[in-house]
Amino acid sequence: MTKKDILELKKRLNKTDCSITKLCGCYVDSSKNKVLTLSETFLNLDDEEFYKYLDLSRKCLSGNVGNNLLQLEFPTQEEEPGGRQQFLMGLKESGLKNEELLERFYDLIIEHYDHAGNYLILLFKDAYDIITRTNDGMKLDESEEVFDYLLCAICPVTLSKPGLGYREEENRIGARIRDWVVGAPDTGFIFPAFSDRSSDIHSLIYYIKDAKDSRPEFVENVFGCGSKRTATEQQQVFSSIVKQALAPVRDDSEEVLLQLQEKFHEISCPDEEEIYEEQPPVILTGELVDEVLTEHHIIGETAEHIKEGISREFESEPPALQNLIDEKALEKNARKKEEEHLRLQVQQLQKELAEKTSSAPENLNDPDEEAPFDEHCDVILRIKPEKASLIKSEMIDGRKCLIIPVDEYEQINLNGVTREV
């Protein structure tokens, strides 16, 4: 499953191209009781409802592949009679018209979905006629395959916020009537998976809104699949391993972690100008771990603790380097480095100005008095020593500028012309 696969499915979920035929659902309260079930012919819905349901279905194809969208493979035993994959196949092939299968599905979700409030289970039945494409991406009229699939969205239902509103029947302003509102899905899935523009009945696409919690128990109990960490969870586990190993021997564990992530970024993210197509991810191997730790002078027992932790936590599926990088932390650290670099530049500039002005002629205000200067400089300043320390450098509209504070009524001499501020 790639980003292109997801986008191909998602862009079809609009009024023009939508081919969803059936919508079923079950509204569940906080006590896990079924409040109501629904079954609708999707294209017969009123426009307002049609678009709202369509938007909920699109949400299950949002986020990043590997973080919010995971491809989960079914174990062999789940593809045998009585297995979860076989159950989903039966549900799909029934066209959502088998009430017994639907009730079993709702019961399965209700039993294992951990949610404190009310929620709505939605099931969409769709069929995508996959158009043949040439090697250069051009579409042909003939069809390659029909991708017949189910899309499930589990949406929290919460009370609207209290407030004041206009009560038309009473013609007055009063407390607004609170009602139950269906929110964007927290969890969902597509079965079978859509991979390489084709149906993959041996796996499904699992959607999770909060990438910090992939709900592993829900995955194992509902689908029978082994749980898989999101990229965010992998990054958190890696950070924890490094910090725990460094904490007893070093005070700069956060800084070292950032240095390791910067190295991973350098390896996994080449110059964007050289990228012409989606590149395969760089996987964290034992050899790569050794190389990076040695380069950053992490050796001995500390290095062994880190390698053991990585081997233990990522034994079944080594992570991609990109998944271990905290992009926000790297951006913040880059800004910090740039600010420090500018500060040092200003200090050096102030020092040089102080040295030059201290050796300049005393009569600096005489425009006819010539002072020695470096003919190779593009900008030449002659300024009193007491003013030199006030000069600073700033980025303005993407350009580095020198800022010289000037008090009211002070005079400046610009290229021999004296002016009053």
In the structure encoding, which two tokens stand for residue 274, read together? 């050289």
- 172, 132 contact by CB (below 8 A): no
In the structure encoding, which two tokens stand for residue 342, read together? 């500018």
Query: 37-52: per-residue pLDDT in tens?
Result: 999 999 899 999 999 9
- 265, 282 contact by CB (below 8 A): no
- 193, 9 contact by CB (below 8 A): no
Total-model pTM: 0.73
Between 70 and 140, residue with greater pLDDT: 70
Please list the helix, strand and coil fractions of the chain in percent, rounded to the nearest 5, in that order. 40, 25, 35
In the structure encoding, which two tokens stand for residue 191, read together? 């079965």
Mean per-residue pLDDT, 164-174: 89
- 64, 29 contact by CB (below 8 A): no
| Residue type for position 38 | L
Query: Where would I find the H helices in 314-375?
Result: 327-358
In the structure encoding, which two tokens stand for residue 364, read together? 């600096």
Query: 195-250: per-residue pLDDT in tens?
Result: 988 999 999 999 999 999 999 999 999 999 988 899 999 999 999 999 999 888 88
In the structure encoding, which two tokens stand for residue 240, read together? 């924890």
- 366, 382 contact by CB (below 8 A): no
User: Percent of the chain beyond pLDDT 70?
Assistant: 89
Each as own residue / partner, the long-range contacts of residues 250-253 (CB below 8 Å, 24 or more positions apart, any chain) are 250/302
Mean per-residue pLDDT, 56-82: 93
Asked whether the predicted pLDDT for residue 114 surpasses 90, the reply is yes
Least confident of 107-121, 154-168, 274-288, 320-334: 274-288
What per-residue confidence (pLDDT) applies to 134?
62
Best CA proximity match to 190, nearest among 288, 61, 372, 25: 61
Mean per-residue pLDDT, 177-186: 92
Query: 20-37: per-residue pLDDT in tens?
Result: 999 999 999 999 999 999
The pair phi, psi for residue 134, each rounded to 5°, is -80, 175
Within 8 A by CB and 6+ apart from 294, the residues are 303
DSSP class of 357: H
What per-residue confidence (pLDDT) applies to 383?
76
In the structure encoding, which two tokens stand for residue 266, read together? 């350098």
**Winning range, highest mean pLDDT, from 94-103, 219-228, 323-332, 387-396:** 94-103
Surface-to-core class of residue 20, CB atoms within 10 Å of its CB (0-12 exposed, 13-18 middle, 19+ buried): buried
In the structure encoding, which two tokens stand for residue 329, read together? 């932390």
Mean per-residue pLDDT, 400-414: 78
- 295, 264 contact by CB (below 8 A): no
The pair phi, psi for residue 58, each rounded to 5°, is -65, -35
Within 8 A by CB and 6+ apart from 282, the residues are 267, 268, 320, 321, 322
Between 292 and 381, residue with greater pLDDT: 292
What per-residue confidence (pLDDT) applies to 398?
75
In the structure encoding, which two tokens stand for residue 126, read together? 């769709």
DSSP class of 283: B
What per-residue confidence (pLDDT) applies to 406?
80
First-to-last alpha carbon distance for the chain, in angstroms, is 65
DSSP class of 318: P
Query: 264-320: per-residue pLDDT in tens?
Result: 888 887 665 444 456 778 899 889 999 999 988 888 888 999 999 999 999 888 888
Can you tell me the distance from the alpha carbon of 306 to that of 304, in angstroms, rounded to the nearest whole number?
A: 5
pLDDT band of residue 178 (cuts 50, 70, 90) is confident
Mean per-residue pLDDT, 129-150: 74
What per-residue confidence (pLDDT) applies to 328?
86
Mean per-residue pLDDT, 53-67: 93
Can you tell me the distance from the alpha carbon of 45 to that of 69, in angstroms, rounded to the nearest whole number?
A: 29
Q: Which residue has the tokens 């289970």?
A: 121
| Residue type for position 191 | F
CA distances from 136 to 133, 139, 140 (A): 8, 9, 11
| Residue type for position 58 | R
pLDDT band of residue 326 (cuts 50, 70, 90) is confident
| Residue type for position 373 | F
pLDDT band of residue 397 (cuts 50, 70, 90) is confident
Best CA proximity match to 249, nearest among 303, 304, 302, 300: 302
Asked whether the predicted pLDDT for residue 367 surpasses 80, the reply is no
Enumerate the β-bridge partners of residue 145. 130
Q: Which residue has the tokens 């300024």?
A: 383
- Measure the CA angle with vertex 325, ends 321 and 329; round to 5°: 165
Q: What does the mean pLDDT of the chain come to?
A: 86
Surface-to-core class of residue 164, CB atoms within 10 Å of its CB (0-12 exposed, 13-18 middle, 19+ buried): exposed
Dihedral over alpha carbons 372, 378, 381, 387 (to 10 degrees): -130
Residue spans per domain, the chain: 3-228, 232-325, 331-420
